[in-house]
Amino acid sequence: MDSALIPNGVKRCSMGKFLLWNSIIGLVLLWGVFALLLCWIKGLNQTNMNNAYGFALWIWADLAVIALGGGAFFTGFLRYIVGKEELKNIINYAVLIGFICYSAAQLILGIDIGQPLRGWFIFWHANIHSMLTEVAFCLSCYFIVLCIEYIPLILENRQTDKVPFFHNLTHNMHEVMAIFAATGAFLSFFHQGSLGGVSGVLFGRPFGFREHIFGTIWPYTFFLFTWSAAACGPCFTILVTKITEKIAGKKLVKDNVIDLLAKISGWMILTYIIAKTADTLYWAFVTAPSTGFILAKFYTENPGSVYGYWILFLEIVICGFVPALFLIVKKWRRTPVLLWTAIILAVIGVSLNRWVLVLQVLAVPVMPFTDWNIYFPSWQEIATTILPVAYGILLIMISYRYLPIFPQEAELNPIEPEPEPEQEAKPEGKAEEIKTKAGEPELKPAEA
């Protein structure tokens, strides 16, 4: 039915199967939209946030998807600025994943603010000293860059590509894409960093506060966030690619491309986690004690040990050093199970880091006579957080079906000519019989 829209040389599932899966994911999306409308119409009392937990699941989701979407800017940086040619075979998908992550982040922010219709105040009445202002500006600008990077991909659809204007536009956009990749890397450096600064500047919250470089400009979390997004973002790109390959049942990207990205990611994670360890040690033994806090105060005596030392161990060792080593050692990263383990751990690690620097910051009691604040999200919060995931899956399904996202797909999965239907249908011997019948006209493939 839609074969004219499907890229040349590749095979896709039937329209019925495609629509069925779209409908299932669409239902999840509608559930999220329902929760979103509840939050907009009835207000944020639909959440389990409170005056102690002003930031919660949504802000974590925002920070996490932006970190995971970091694969787009860093892969673009490697491909266009550093000149890693092999990565041209995964850059499309990295851009699509980045586009999904950043649009999801903006959607979540639109739900999270108490007065959504005033959201534009952040641009109009901008406080240049606020990390959130920097986040808003850079994030919006980078989203525009992602749109610019995604547009040529859309225009490469078989039908739109037939239009000379679109064809030439796509060609010319590809020619200048290095400029956008550089702009994207520049903007991402700042908004990823600013997100790190969100908790790092909170000098009233000793768990989140970090020393500042150059005196008062940027806390160290600024650089750690940028570094971790560049390190773990590509792992998420690889993970989604691998999941897509599993679902599609075929290889979409050659091993050497994955291998290169994984290797770079491994070194990035290793250097990041060393810096993160140094930051943690300095914070634990110098910064926090200067305000009367010892490490045990942050990690003990909380209900159910929700925030125990295990978080530190999990984030730094299990989801930091372990995936770094798995990805750096050639033999290990070329072992599928270890590659899968490493990319999953890296994704969990960066997400956990964002969780800790949003929720644990608020959970730790600061006034000596107050207790830990423990929070569990409401179903409306969970549904609205799943909403962008469903939206992302839908966009991937549609893009994969109709756009040439994976340049190596056709080469990796050559379509063999279909056997003659008669031969397939008839048992051996019968086919021979048919062929020998004289005078009967042969069926044309289309008619058959």
Partner 1 sequence: MEQVKDKKFGMVIDLDKCTGCGSCMVACMSENNVPFREDETDKLLSVAWMRVYKMTNRKPYPDTEVCYFPRPCMHCEGQHSGHSPCVSVCPAVATDYSTATGIVSQIYTRCFGCRYCMAACPYHARVFNWFDPVWPHGMEKSLSPDVSVRMRGVVEKCSFCYHRYQKAMEKAYVDGRKELEENEYQTSCTQACPAGAITFGDLNNTHHEVYKIAQPDHKHHGKSKNPKVFRLLERLGTNPKVYYLSSRKWVRQLGDNYRPDEIMK
- Is residue 256 part of the contact set for partner 1 (CB under 8 A)? no
The residue (of 95 and 361) whose beta carbon lies closer to partner 1 is: 361
In single-letter form, the type of residue at position 86 comes to E
Nearest to residue 381, comparing CAs of 140, 60, 25? 60
CB-nearer residue toward partner 1: 135 or 268 = 135
Q: Does 52 help bind partner 1 (rule: CB under 8 A)?
A: yes
The encoded tokens of residue 133 equal 């202002």
Q: Does 294 bind partner 1 (CB under 8 A)?
A: yes
Q: What is the per-residue DSSP string for 120-181?
A: THHHHT--TT-HHHHHHHHHHHHHHHHHHHHHHHHHTSTTGGGSHHHHHHHHHHHHTHHHHH
Residue 35 contacts partner 1 per CB under 8 A? no
Instruction: Provide the pairing of β-strand 218-219 with 212-213.
Output: antiparallel
* 283 interacts with partner 1 by CB under 8 A: no
Contacts of partner 1 in 372-391 (CB under 8 A): 373
CB of 64 to partner 1, least distance (A): 17
In eight-state DSSP terms, residue 370 is -
* The one among 6, 13, 37, 113 contacting partner 1 by CB under 8 A: 113
The answer to whether residue 3 forms part of the interface with partner 1 (CB under 8 A) is no
Minimum separation from the CB atom of position 59 to partner 1 (A) = 9
Binding of partner 1 at residue 198 (CB under 8 A)?
yes
Residue 291 lies near partner 1 (rule: CB under 8 A): yes
Residue 274 CB neighbours (<10 A):
14
> Is 218 strand, coil or helix?
strand
Name the residue nearer to partner 1 (CB basis): 366 or 386: 366
What mask, x for binding partner 1 by CB under 8 A, covers residues 129 to 168?
A: xxxxx--x--------------------------------
Rounded CA-CA distance 86/159 in Å is: 27
When asked if residue 215 is in the footprint of partner 1 (CB under 8 A), the reply is no
Q: Which residues contact 222 (CB under 8 A, 6 or more apart)?
A: 193, 194, 196, 197, 200, 213
Judged by CB under 8 A, the chain residues 336 through 375 that form the site for partner 1 are: 361-362, 366-370, 373
108 binds partner 1 (CB under 8 A): no
- Angle ∠(396,185,222) on CA atoms, nearest 5: 105
Q: Does 45 bind partner 1 (CB under 8 A)?
A: yes
Smallest separation, CB 247 to partner 1 (Å): 37
Asked if 203 interacts with partner 1 (CB under 8 A), we say: yes
CA distances from 232 to 72, 149, 267, 272, 341 (A): 11, 21, 11, 10, 13
Q: Which residues contact 210 (CB under 8 A, 6 or more apart)?
A: 200, 219, 220, 221, 279, 283, 287
| Phi and psi torsions of 376, nearest 5° | -135, 130
Query: Which residue number, 180 or 298, has a Cβ lying nearer to partner 1?
Result: 298
> Which of the stretches 23-31, 44-52, 220-228, 240-248 binds partner 1 when contact is defined by CB under 8 A?
44-52
400/202 Cα distance (integer angstroms)? 43
Q: Smallest distance from the beta carbon of 202 to partner 1, in angstroms? A: 5
Asked if 286 interacts with partner 1 (CB under 8 A), we say: no
**Structural contact between residues 309 and 270, judged by C-beta atoms closer than 8 angstroms:** no
Residues that bind partner 1 (CB under 8 A): 43-45, 49-55, 112-116, 118-119, 121-122, 124-127, 129-133, 136, 198-199, 201-206, 289-294, 297, 361-362, 366-370, 373
